[in-house]
């Protein structure tokens, strides 16, 4: 009998990938003799997962580079007809994911049927599915796939998301913080988001971040982000009045994880770094506008969702469609979230985690 072998198809976002790690851990726990191969699409995600003890084989296929066809050919050559199961984790309601799953020719191709645009995105190419449930977190949706393997996990038994840092990496994060500030409260901040599919609209205004930083003198703020957030981070730094802001730049994703772990807590838009903070066990303040906190709230840590409670929110649902304001009002769900409201939440966390 062929040994059970799982292939986890590649996913794009840091947050989406991290939200698969509890399900991967549970597969390994309940089927310890199985092998798990995970595919990634970029080096950053590969580096985040490379020390995960639940993953037997980790392979990177750079589908987004200029040689994407060569990467796809390599993927088919190395992964087709080699696995008993292929899992396409949630949320992956795109035909590309389903074609990539089909090309493995695994006898069992597991994933979801979706409530929106299910047929047009080729989800019928999978042959073992559970139905999407709008009342569940993405982590819970991923763990539900295990029911197709005869494994049922109660919500309270689902583990945290996982990024494994060694002692030297953790120490490096602490030393970096100490080299920047002696403040008893160091707050990590992510003022950005992905720019794909219109998700730049999930950002709280950079002017509000600036006003917030200037209203809190008794903490030091570490700003995280890539070139996609450079404008917002530079604006916050240039307008800081109290020399209490540092832009953390030119760091690998594992360095970023270690430095976030050294912070007292993390303040973030709905972003991959919000989930990274949860994965390294930091409390999180989440600034949420059009997206649904039921899907994406920080998992497994102390958290607070800060929102304006707009009646039209949430308006985002998982589908290939870009994010658009349902009220044609330029996402007032975020612009109505005032710095003073966020400051109250930040000061509550400062008191709790100083």
Series of mean pLDDT values for 10-residue runs along the chain (354 residues): 86 91 97 96 92 95 80 91 96 91 96 93 95 95 97 95 96 97 96 73 90 96 92 94 94 96 97 96 92 90 88 69 66 84 96 89
Q: How many CA atoms lie within 13 A of 266 on its CB side?
A: 32
Per-residue model confidence as pLDDT tens digits over 304-342: 999 877 777 676 776 667 667 666 657 677 888 899 999
- Is the sign of the CA dihedral 315, 329, 266, 50 positive or negative? positive
Q: How far apart are CA 193 and CA 176, in angstroms?
A: 24
Confidence (pLDDT) at 68? 79
pTM above threshold 0.85? yes
Confidence (pLDDT) at 227? 87
Q: How far apart are CA 269 and CA 291, in angstroms?
A: 10
Domains annotated on the chain, with CATH = 5-157 (3.40.50.2000), 167-353 (3.40.50.2000)
3-class SS at 153?
A: coil
* Residue 351 burial (C-beta neighbours within 10 Å; 0-12, 13-18, 19+): exposed
CA distances from 115 to 9, 89, 121, 131, 326 (A): 21, 15, 11, 8, 19
The set of residues, in sequence order, having a beta carbon less than 8 Å from that of 269 and lying 6+ positions away, is: 190, 191, 192, 193, 202, 203, 204, 286, 287
The answer to whether the bond into 193 is cis (omega within 30° of 0) is no
Q: How far apart are CA 336 and CA 341, in angstroms?
A: 10
The set of residues, in sequence order, having a beta carbon less than 8 Å from that of 270 and lying 6+ positions away, is: 193, 202, 286, 287, 288, 289, 291, 296
Confidence (pLDDT) at 215? 96
CA distances from 96 to 84, 100, 199 (A): 21, 6, 20
The set of residues, in sequence order, having a beta carbon less than 8 Å from that of 218 and lying 6+ positions away, is: 183, 185, 350
Q: Is residue 257 within 8 Å of 172, Cβ to Cβ?
A: no
Q: At 57, give phi and psi (nearest 5°).
A: -135, 135
CA neighbor of 161 nearest in space, from 8, 301, 318? 301
The set of residues, in sequence order, having a beta carbon less than 8 Å from that of 285 and lying 6+ positions away, is: 265, 266, 267, 268, 303, 304, 306, 342, 345, 346, 349
The answer to whether the bond into 314 is cis (omega within 30° of 0) is yes
């Amino acid at each position: 009998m062929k040994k059970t072998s799982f292939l986890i198809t590649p996913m794009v976002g840091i947050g989406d990938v991290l939200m698969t790690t509890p399900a991967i851990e549970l597969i390994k726990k309940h089927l310890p003799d199985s092998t798990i191969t995970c595919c990634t699409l970029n080096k950053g995600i590969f580096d985040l997962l490379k020390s995960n003890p639940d993953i037997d084989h980790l392979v990177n296929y750079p589908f987004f580079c200029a040689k994407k066809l060569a990467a796809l050919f390599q993927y088919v050559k190395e992964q087709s007809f080699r696995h008993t199961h292929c899992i396409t984790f949630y949320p992956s309601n795109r035909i590309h994911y389903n074609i990539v799953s089909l090309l493995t020719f695994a006898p069992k191709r597991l994933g979801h049927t979706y409530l929106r645009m299910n047929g047009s995105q080729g989800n019928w190419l999978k042959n073992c599915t559970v139905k999407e449930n709008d009342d569940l977190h993405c982590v819970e949706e991923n763990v539900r796939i295990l029911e197709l393997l005869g494994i049922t996990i109660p919500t309270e038994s689902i583990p945290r998301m996982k990024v494994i840092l060694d002692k030297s990496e953790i120490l490096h994060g602490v030393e970096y913080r100490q080299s920047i500030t002696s403040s008893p409260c160091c707050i990590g901040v992510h003022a950005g988001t992905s720019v794909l599919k219109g998700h730049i609209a999930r950002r709280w205004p950079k002017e509000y971040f600036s006003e917030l930083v200037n209203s809190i003198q008794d903490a030091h703020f570490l700003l995280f982000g890539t070139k996609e957030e450079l404008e917002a981070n530079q604006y916050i730094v240039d307008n800081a009045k109290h020399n209490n802001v540092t832009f953390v730049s030119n760091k690998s994703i594992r360095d970023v994880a270690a430095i976030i772990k050294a912070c007292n807590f993390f303040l973030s838009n709905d972003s991959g770094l919000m989930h990274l903070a949860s994965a390294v066990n930091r409390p999180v303040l989440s600034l949420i506008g059009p997206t649904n906190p039921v899907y994406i709230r920080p998992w497994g840590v102390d958290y607070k969702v800060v929102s304006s409670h707009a009646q039209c929110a949430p308006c985002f649902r998982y589908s290939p469609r870009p994010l658009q304001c349902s009220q044609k009002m330029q996402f007032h769900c975020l612009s109505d979230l005032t710095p003073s409201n966020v400051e109250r939440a930040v000061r509550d966390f400062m008191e709790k985690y100083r």
